[in-house]
A and B are shown apart, each in its own frame.
Chain A
Amino acid sequence: MEPEAASGWRRLGRLEETGVLCALGALVLFFSLTTETFLGRTNLIQVARQASDYGLLAMAMVFVLTLGEVDLSVGSVMALVNVATAVALREGVPVVLAAALGLAAGAACGLANGALSVVLRIPSIIVTLGTMSVFRGLALVISKATPIGLGDAARESALLRSLGREYFHVPASVVAMLIAGILGHVVLQRTVFGRRVQAIGSNLQAARFSGIRIVRYRLAVMTLSGAAAGAAGLLALAFLEAGNPTTGETFELLAIASAVIGGTALGGGSGSVPGAALGALILAVISNGLVLLGLTAYWSKIVTGAMIVAAVAVDYLVKKLPQRER
């Protein structure tokens, strides 16, 4: 029995996500002990849903960062799809068509980012720094800087209701994040596509010399990032039953932070989709826990930053432990 148990623990220790799991566990334990309502079912579901607001973006960002790129426009794409779809629904476009067009628009924004980066030979961080403003500006123009309510017909449609409801008490956006997390993990770690994304991020020259078509992967990953942002915009629209041009503001930072906290290398070459989901959960747990503790506005920002650093430090230490034992 003992050797099997030991190998089980070793396997757990070798998991990329062990460190971030420990950090999340430490935070959950802390808030469970210091607040009365943190561990309640309603609160935990709320935390998971709040994490899913930017969780999809974070998981797609894993692919982008692993490739060695950065996409700063995801929050703006989310807003653009959110309000554009709301406007389309208000104008009477059928719900399924509007949602499909919204998703396609998100993917198109991502493709445009990739194409600009490839054609102009500019790093994606610069391209998306510009398109971040362009897409946000388009969202403001389309919405006239005003929230857009959905009409009764759209609100009652089967598609929007299914995207905004709960399944066995689990919000649809959390279900979407779970499904995306599993798919994303399989694609990144178990497919040729994922391996090549990691190879490109690890060593661009070597990847090029080995015949990998860098341009195709760049376009594909940026399109994926845009599509994920579009999906996030649609889920926000379905849940809040209104489009809002402020949607997604600063979400690019949350997405990058979640991915990095979850173990994705900022320099490219490796990443963890489940880690990004856990990173998003860590950020949501901190926001939720500090409010439950009664920490008001001015102190919450200081403590939030400190807790993020602490969470990353726990992850780092846990990863270092097995190396020291050797």
Chain B
Amino acid sequence: MRRTRFRRRPCLVLAPCLPLLVLAGCQREVGPGRLKIGFVLHGLNDFTQVIAKGAEDAGRDLDADVEVTGPAGFVHEQAIAMFEAMAQKGKAGIAVVPQPGAVWVVPIRHAAAAGIPVVTANVTSPGSAASAWFGQDERRSGVLLARELRSILEAEGKLEGSIAVGSCAPGIEVLASRYEGFREGMEGSRYELTEPFDVTAENTRNYGAWENVVSSQKDLVAAVGLCSLDIPNLAKVKVRSGGKWLIAGYDLNVETLDAIRAGTAQVTVGQHPYLQGYLPVRALVEHLREGKPLVKGWIDAGTEVVTKANVDSVYEREVDEDAETRWYAAHRAERFADLSALAKPFPREKKP
């Protein structure tokens, strides 16, 4: 009997505390003071590290605690768990890279229902309760890439031939949009575009896959990678095989820019990941601390096409973090002074 009473007492003491603990967990800092913002990435690689840096710089500039996290292996279930944990930790607002968009509708809805404003970065979740999206139009980026590659091919007198396309993650919406845009940009030409080959996201197999792809194509005039690790590996394959085909792809990592400078690769498309990290945090802070209405709609972070003609103008900011911070501070002041004024409707394919 004594043991039973003794066992019951801790439960009686703890039970009323539980709702208090839950409420304490749900409290968010609002008004003046150090805001706590969460930022959930879709994975960890060199590209998302730039997003993270942008977010952290925003936190430093705006006196907010920004916690950036993400699953190592691009597993969306883990990212959702991290997002939910951010909500439980009482973040005043959360920015998220919701990849793939469809599975994030419910988690974002739950967070919004709990009063946590959510914005999306890099990709968005059509139909979700996220207020704004900071990213590029992926389909349009493919069109721009195709147009630039086409102009280079035509300038070299290569008016027909095979263009091999590789995807490091077949089925990912972003990459599919890029490919669709690239195909659209190549319409009317005499180039034969392949469907995307699976070139994998693992670095050594990516190299081997590209070896196989370029070997498989007769009359290859260009190889196009849809992911950031493709151009560096394509450049190595091209140099070692003595290939004459052109290389196009995405993102502005240092190896890619070196390949463009050397003339081994011809064109790459950047999407300002730094801004995709900085601007969402700024939008949340302006809303939560200053009471501004939260931005609604799409803020186009911009797409930049880089070729040998302009690679030197981007090189310094991509290899040096301080230079990157300075450049983007000036760029933000010039182009992103008023986020609400810049917001526009979502692109056609992003509408629910």
* A interface residues (Cβ-Cβ under 8 A, vs B): 35, 37, 42-43, 46, 49-50, 53, 133, 136-137, 140, 144-147, 149, 236, 239-242, 244-251, 284, 287-288, 291-294, 296-298, 300-301
Q: Are B209 and A287 in contact (CB under 8 A)?
A: yes
In the complex, what distance in Å separates the CA atom of A284 from the CA atom of B212?
10
Q: Are A297 and B49 in contact (CB under 8 A)?
A: no
Q: Are B215 and A42 in contact (CB under 8 A)?
A: yes
Which B residues, 151 to 197, have Cβ-Cβ distances below 8 Å to chain A? Answer: 167, 170-171, 194-197
How far in angstroms is the closest Cβ of chain B from A3? 46
Smallest CB-CB A-B distances: 7 pairs: A297-B170, A297-B198, A50-B208, A244-B203, A291-B212, A296-B195, A146-B46
In the complex, what distance in Å separates the CA atom of A300 from the CA atom of B171?
13
8 contacts between A and B (CB under 8 A): A50-B208, A145-B44, A244-B203, A246-B203, A287-B209, A291-B209, A294-B216, A296-B196
How far in angstroms is the closest Cβ of chain B from A28? 15
In the complex, what distance in Å separates the CA atom of A287 from the CA atom of B215?
13
Of all chain A residues, which has the CB nearest B207? Answer: A240
How far in angstroms is the closest Cβ of chain A from B330? 24
In the complex, what distance in Å separates the CA atom of A298 from the CA atom of B195?
10
How far in angstroms is the closest Cβ of chain A from B320? 14
**Which residues of B have CB within 8 Å of A239?**
204, 207
Asked if B254 CB lies within 8 Å of chain A CBs, one says yes
Interface flags for B199-217 (1: CB within 8 Å of A; 0: not) read 0011111011101110110
Residue from the list B203, B236, B255 in contact with A247, Cβ < 8 A: B203
Residue from the list A133, A147, A251, A301 in contact with B46, Cβ < 8 A: A147
**Which residues of B have CB within 8 Å of A292?**
212, 215-216
Given contacts A53-B205, A137-B72, A240-B204, 10 further A-B contacts (CB under 8 A): A42-B215, A53-B204, A146-B253, A242-B255, A246-B229, A247-B204, A293-B216, A294-B194, A297-B171, A298-B171
In the complex, what distance in Å separates the CA atom of A265 from the CA atom of B236?
38
Q: Are B45 and A246 in contact (CB under 8 A)?
A: yes
**Which residues of A have CB within 8 Å of B241?**
42
How far in angstroms is the closest Cβ of chain A from B211? 5
Interface flags for B251-291 (1: CB within 8 Å of A; 0: not) read 00111001000000000000000000000000000000000
Asked if B48 CB lies within 8 Å of chain A CBs, one says yes
Q: Are A46 and B198 in contact (CB under 8 A)?
A: no
**Which residues of A have CB within 8 Å of B44?**
140, 145
Q: Are B72 and A236 in contact (CB under 8 A)?
A: no
Q: Are B215 and A37 in contact (CB under 8 A)?
A: yes
Which B residues, 44 to 102, have Cβ-Cβ distances below 8 Å to chain A? Answer: 44-46, 48-49, 72-73
In the complex, what distance in Å separates the CA atom of A284 from the CA atom of B49?
32
Asked if B232 CB lies within 8 Å of chain A CBs, one says yes
Residue from the list A133, A144, A240, A293 in contact with B233, Cβ < 8 A: A240
Q: Are B72 and A37 in contact (CB under 8 A)?
A: no
Residue from the list B46, B195, B201, B216 in contact with A145, Cβ < 8 A: B46
In the complex, what distance in Å separates the CA atom of A292 from the CA atom of B197?
11
* Contacts known (A146-B49, A297-B167); A291 close to B216, Cβ less than 8 A: yes
In the complex, what distance in Å separates the CA atom of A239 from the CA atom of B240?
11
Categorize the interface residue count of chain B: 35 or more
Of all chain B residues, which has the CB nearest A53? Answer: B204
Q: Are B72 and A147 in contact (CB under 8 A)?
A: no
Residue from the list A42, A245, A296 in contact with B198, Cβ < 8 A: A296
Interface flags for B229-249 (1: CB within 8 Å of A; 0: not) read 100110010000100000000
Of all chain A residues, which has the CB nearest B233? Answer: A240
Q: Are A240 and B194 in contact (CB under 8 A)?
A: no
**Which residues of A have CB within 8 Å of B48?**
145
Residue from the list B202, B205, B208, B216 in contact with A37, Cβ < 8 A: B216
How far in angstroms is the closest Cβ of chain B from A102? 16
**Which residues of B have CB within 8 Å of A247?**
202-204
Q: Which of B196, B213, B216 has the most CB of A within 10 A?
A: B216
How far in angstroms is the closest Cβ of chain B from A101? 21
* Contacts known (A149-B254, A247-B202, A297-B198); A136 close to B208, Cβ less than 8 A: no
**Which residues of B have CB within 8 Å of A293?**
216
How far in angstroms is the closest Cβ of chain A from B19? 35
**Which residues of A have CB within 8 Å of B233?**
240
**Which residues of B have CB within 8 Å of A53?**
204-205, 208
How far in angstroms is the closest Cβ of chain A from B10? 32
Residue from the list A133, A248, A296 in contact with B202, Cβ < 8 A: A248
**Which residues of B have CB within 8 Å of A287?**
208-209, 212
In the complex, what distance in Å separates the CA atom of A244 from the CA atom of B46?
10
Of all chain B residues, which has the CB nearest A243? Answer: B203
**Which residues of B have CB within 8 Å of A250?**
202
Residue from the list B49, B195, B215, B232 in contact with A242, Cβ < 8 A: B232
* Contacts known (A136-B72, A246-B202); A46 close to B194, Cβ less than 8 A: no
**Which residues of A have CB within 8 Å of B198?**
296-297, 300-301
Q: Which of B171, B197, B213, B258 has the most CB of A within 10 A?
A: B197
In the complex, what distance in Å separates the CA atom of A244 from the CA atom of B198?
19
Q: Which of B207, B229, B236 has the most CB of A within 10 A?
A: B207
Of all chain A residues, which has the CB nearest B195? Answer: A296
How far in angstroms is the closest Cβ of chain B from A25? 20
In the complex, what distance in Å separates the CA atom of A249 from the CA atom of B45?
13
In the complex, what distance in Å separates the CA atom of A291 from the CA atom of B195?
11
In the complex, what distance in Å separates the CA atom of A27 from the CA atom of B213?
19
Q: Are B201 and A249 in contact (CB under 8 A)?
A: yes
**Which residues of B have CB within 8 Å of A240?**
203-204, 207, 233, 236
Residue from the list B167, B171, B197, B211 in contact with A50, Cβ < 8 A: B211
